[in-house]
Chain A
Amino acid sequence: MSLLSVRDLTVKFAMRDQTVTALDQISFDLGKGERLGIVGESGAGKSITGFSLMNLLSRPGFIDSGSIQFEGEEIAGLPDRKMRSIRGNRMAMIFQDPMVTLNPVLTIGQQMVETLQAHRRLSRADAEQIAIMKLREVYIPSPEERLAQYPHELSGGMRQRIIIAMALLLEPQLIIADEPTTALDVTIQADIMELLLELCTSNMVGLILITHDLGVVSQMTERTLVMYAGRIIEAGKTREIINDPQHPYTQGLINALPQQTLPGHRLKQIPGNMPGLAAIPTGCAFNPRCPYAVDHCRSTRPETVSYASVEVACHEVNRLHNTVLEDESA
């Protein structure tokens, strides 16, 4: 049985004069202890996916249709009271900026003890013991002293470690990490990612890593979803997607990496911008930016097809592959 199974999840935002679709029929599965990456540009719906899994969409967003099954239980549309016992307890989330994620007026100890006591019947002393143990697991030096400190007394890397420790406090089955290292130094980024990887593998915790950093995804995850304008346009094993991307958008993303360009040359960027949610083009949402787009792409929405061991939503994937092969042989 898979840990998490999302089927045709559609999320909409009720704006003043229209309803826009932020997530369009997203489906994916996550096995126990599996690590999944979600990549895409800003506004592709990555974070909204994370929030909908937690059932934490704030108004005007709402789950329009579809199902989210977590450990065999349907959680889409679960009342808040029941959802609260899942949040933090069986499913945890880590946010982007550790500078603002911890409450500035409470000590680390208060915040950790409060989290534990909200879900478990524990005495203060026992809760503190667990907190110290978890802080030690994320390699915080002298954890006993940290409990009495306020967030502003700690460095960014230290804070993100503490946030990870807090996410692990109640031994959840699934961690959703929403760009966990974007706000950190490059050197600390690597440390934090390594730590997250280690903790997930040793505790068999499922991880959904939301990021726009393809390098991070290739190191950390087993499978990857590529999102564009609220849809999953390519899904498959991370290795396959990085080495042999099928969708022109994924290809564009990988070509845009600085490593793909010789020094002194312009970076190969994808022309244009992600469309706004209110103005998603008909047909394939990527067609205005796609170098291979044909009439068919502008009128009909592509279905997801299996191609070369990945799932891809592109009409022209066959032709595209052949052109690439021709280019290579020429």
Chain B
Amino acid sequence: MSSMVDTGEPTRLQRIWQSNMAYSFRRNPVAVVSLVIFLIIAVMSLLAPVIAPFDPYDPASIDIMNSEYPPAWVEGSEPEFILGTDDQGRDLWSTILYGTRLSLIIGLCAVGLQAFLGISIGLIAGYIGGRLDNILMRLADIQLSFSTLMVAIIFLAVTQAMFGSETFNQYAIFFLIAVIGVAEWPQYARTVRATVLAEKRKEYVDSARVLGFGAGRIMVRHILPNSLSPIFVISTVQVANAIISEASLSFLGLGMPPSQPSLGSLISSGFDYIFSGSWWITAIPGVVLVVLVLVINLLGDWMRDVLNPKLYKG
């Protein structure tokens, strides 16, 4: 019964559990289910080397003779391969685990890069204002007027041609992170700028200036922590977008190589076989991708509702 004893001073964990946000989270079954599914996918994919029965990156463990076995519940399957095998004889279950891991890593790193660029630019534009603000925001407008995919396709096609397929395939993950990261920074920059414009009129900023703090310190330590809620919301949505962008690029053959497939390249490689009856190579990774993106978006929706002060009913 020790949990029933009130210890007086709540621990940090208890405080988080009792906060408004945690309360609204517990009351929202969609958010709870989304988070649970997301965590399952994330943990399993991160533990891929431990969980997966085969190593899809190891050519020695792949036998071309095993190719195109259907999933276990379909007739003609091999019990060894639960979700069947792909066209090269790789175990689909292992490949999906590894592929999801790649997709998640690319998504998160790309959003990290976007956030870094966008937040820095947004803070500077919003805080300093004037001509610099104008220049930076017009740059953002120009960037936004090109679609992400178009920029990415041009960039990746050029780099592929420049470095050759071999080198490109080796560093594809970095190219993808860079191009998705750079292409979407204006989303952050605009949101952060708008928040900073509102925050910098507040008196705590005046009082920080009066206390003799420099512009950099005021931006990073005073304004940024007060602008975090929109950043959180946009980050979840952007992770989902980045995963989709990566999948699209890989599907178009400009992303991860078939030897190290992400979800997108897996879907793409299976697409050639969909009419010959091997639907599972495309369909199963497709379902994983859709579920992953859906739960991230649902979490983002919930977060937007909670953090939006206009919708807050105290």
Which residues of A are at the interface with B, using a C-beta cutoff of 8 A? 54, 56, 59, 84-89, 92-93, 95-97, 100-106, 114-115, 118-119, 163, 166
Contacts and interface: CB of A to CB of B under 8 A. Distances in A.
Nearest to B214: A84
Contacts of A54: 210
17 contacts: A56-B210, A59-B129, A85-B212, A88-B211, A88-B212, A88-B213, A93-B207, A95-B203, A97-B203, A102-B204, A102-B207, A104-B226, A105-B225, A114-B221, A115-B212, A118-B212, A118-B213
Interface string B181-219: 000000000000000000000111011111111100100
Contact of B210 (A59, A87, A100, A105): A87
Interface in B143-199: none
Nearest to A110: B221
- Which size bracket describes the interface of B in this complex? 10 to 19
Contacts of B217: 118
Contact of B208 (A85, A103, A104): A103
A100 B199 CA distance: 11
A103 B214 contact: no
B212 A86 contact: yes
Nearest to B213: A118
B268 to A, nearest CB: 45
A288 B246 CA distance: 70
4 tightest CB-CB pairs across the interface, nearest first?
A: A88-B212, A88-B211, A87-B212, A93-B210
B222 interface: yes
B8 interface: no
B314 interface: no
Given A96-B203, A106-B225, A118-B211, 16 more contacts: A56-B210, A84-B214, A88-B210, A88-B212, A95-B203, A97-B203, A100-B202, A100-B203, A101-B206, A103-B222, A104-B204, A104-B226, A105-B225, A115-B211, A118-B212, A119-B212
B130 interface: yes
A166 B217 CA distance: 18
A91 to B, nearest CB: 9
Contact of A95 (B207, B214, B221): B207
B208 to A, nearest CB: 7
B211 A103 contact: no
Contacts of B210: 54, 56, 87-88, 92-93, 95
Interface in B27-46: none
Contacts of A87: 209-212
Contacts of B129: 59
Contacts of A104: 204, 226
